[in-house]
Structure formats: structure tokens, C-alpha cells
Chains A and B, each alone.
Chain A
Amino acid sequence: MNHLLSIEDLDRAEIERIVTQAQRFAEVSDREIKKVPALRGRMVLNLFYEASTRTRSSFELAAKRLSADVVNFAASGSSVEKGESLKDTVLTLSAHKPDAIVLRTPWAGAAELVSRWCSAAIVNAGDGKHEHPTQALLDVYTLQSRLGGIDGACIWIVGDVAHSRVARSNIIAFQKMGAKVTVAGPPTLIPRGIEALGCEVRFTLEELDSADVVYALRMQRERMSESYLPSLREYAASYQINGRRLGPRQVLMHPGPVNRGVELSGEVVDSPQAVITAQVEAGVVVRMAVLYELLAGTRESPPVPEPQLA
């Protein structure tokens, strides 16, 4: 593995390898000294074009536990605000010879693009509404730990699928691990053609009790102003996961940050079915495993594609 750009690039065996590695690192996290020297002398650059405290600090912690040096570069307040292009920013920062760049941008495909401009390993920490592969990996890890396995599990992803990179990466990752995925939400927020990813589509939660796992997505307030929804109240009435809708044997997941009272009621957030804090915990060990996978040992250079007949 040279980069982690999308979940689509990984097969089941690779996902399992990362999850297994993460389990080993989880043992380290339980020790009093939580640091291993695996990536001593390596440099990880966090390049964030979107505000993100949680994902960024999770990556930072992961890199530090592996003894790597970490540099954080936030686009706001930097040369980016002076009009520097993504390419120039990346070329400039590459001059510091980072071994890995963790990249979060509001633009789909940006991570892949950057991977062509520099020699560092690129970790996609969210590219627009496209993918968020480490979130999918940590969700697989969390479910694996909770259920013992994902094969055959029925997973419902509920909410604003259209604007969610988490949804896209998870639809792909859960299916690769043998689960059956259903997406559900208001018709205005389920993108036309999403079923081509292999998932089922529902516009109501009537059959939610068939789910083993309910994965609620964050509902962003700005969707109201674009008329995707008439009101948050109406959304909650139809799609909120609450004590009435969530069955006792169902596992509840959420990528955070939660809007209590919107996509989730307070009672389910605090219920033992919710694994939301376990997901955050998994974030660090899974990201350790990803960085370890990419940076420990030597990297091979990718092949150059041949021109094709049109």
C-alpha cells in the first residue's frame, strides 16, 4: 500500500490486516507508557483545509504514539488565504520531506490529485463528499470488536447520505466485510444512483427493526436553507433514532459530532447500545495501523499507465 486514498482501493484482506494491526496497537494504548518507537524519525504532516478538531487530533495522537514527528498545517491563517493553490501548497510543504501527508479538503478527489504531485504517502482524511476511508476502517474495527464479526450483519445508514463522505466509505467498507447495507433518509438527501454501490435504499424507517446496526449520520443545519428539508423538526419526526425506534439488540453508531435531539435522541446516545465513544477510541489505533502500514518498511513506486486506443 502506497497511499490510503479511498476504501475502494482496499480489498477485504487489506482491511483485515489493518484491523488486526490496530488490535495490536490497542494493547499498547492500555499500557502506562502508550508510545512505541515504530516510526521514530519519520514525519507526518497534517494538512487540513477544513476545520476538524477531532480527526486532526486523532491523527496527531496516532502519529505521536508511533514516535513520528508531527507538523500541523491549517489552511486558514496561512498562505492558502493569500491565494496559494493546492498544488503550490503541497509542493512547498513537500520540500520539508514529510513521509506522510494526512489531507482533509472540501474537494472530492483532492487526495488522489495530491498523491501525483509529491512522493509522500497520502492519507485521505476526507475529500469533499467523496470518501473518508479511516472513518470506515475505524467503524469496521469498532463493529468487529462489538459483534465479533461483520459477515452477514444488516447495517442501516440513516440520514443525509447525499452530503456524507462517511456514508460513501462505509457503504463500500461494510459490504467488503460481508455485511448487507441499507441506506435510509429523506428522498432529497439520498443521491440518485447510490444503489449502484450495492446498497438497498429506503425512504422510511418502517423496516428499521431488521437492522443489526443502526448508523446515524450527522444532520447539518445548512441543509435547511437549501430546502432539502422543510424543518429539523420534521426530519426528527421521521428519521430521528430514539428509544421508540431503536431495538434493544441493535448497535448504534454515529461519526460525531452528535446533534442531540436531531438525528439522535439523548436517551439513545447515553444507552449501552451506543458505541460512539468506542468509535473515537478506535480512531487512534486504526490511524496508528494505517500510518504503520504506509510508513514502516520501504515504499514501492506505482507503475506509469500506457496510452489506450480511444
Chain B
Amino acid sequence: MAEELKVAVDRRANGAILYTKGYINNVGGEEIANRAYELMDQGLKTLLLNLRDTKIVNSIGISILIEIIEKMMEKEGIIAFCCLTPVILKTFHIMGLANYAKIFDNEESAVKELGLS
């Protein structure tokens, strides 16, 4: 009963927005990582992950998101998140992810602050 995660990418002038849909587990986390690393290899330094269609994350999936953040930090870029459910936001704080990535309530404010319009 594998829960497939879908990732859609919206390229912008200064970066990209990744839209996730589904469960972020180990497989879902790797799918996000693959897409993010492709974009980073192309030189993009600002990535916004919009999790509006993700309702469940697990600790393994979040550990992979932390790896993506670490890799982007090495490149002196920015990873940000928006549209988190309250429980995912709480989980991100517990896991420490919120200390290393910007988190926005909505996409509009994220796009404005990150210069992704």
C-alpha cells in the first residue's frame, strides 16, 4: 500500500517552488531530494517547498529534508517552506528543521520575501 508522493516544480527567475502532494516518508523524501538536487545542480539557490497537499510526514522523511537543507547551506542557498499544517509545523520545530529553514504561512509572503516572483 505504498503512498506515492508527487512533486511538481514551478521554475521562477531566481529559484523554484516545489509542490508536494502526499506522504513524506523515506521514499517521498528521496523524491523531493532528487528534484531539489537537480535544481541545485542547475545553479538554483532558492527553493520554496509548498506542502499544502501534504498532511502527514514522518521522522525519516524529515531527516531527508534536513539533508537537503544542509546541502543547500553548503552552496550558500536558501530552502524555505510554506503552507504547513499545524502538526507538521510542530514536528518541524521538534526535529530542529525550523532552525535552519525559513517557514512561511502562505506562498504569497514566501514568494515576496524570497524574491521568487
Do A and B pair up? The answer is no
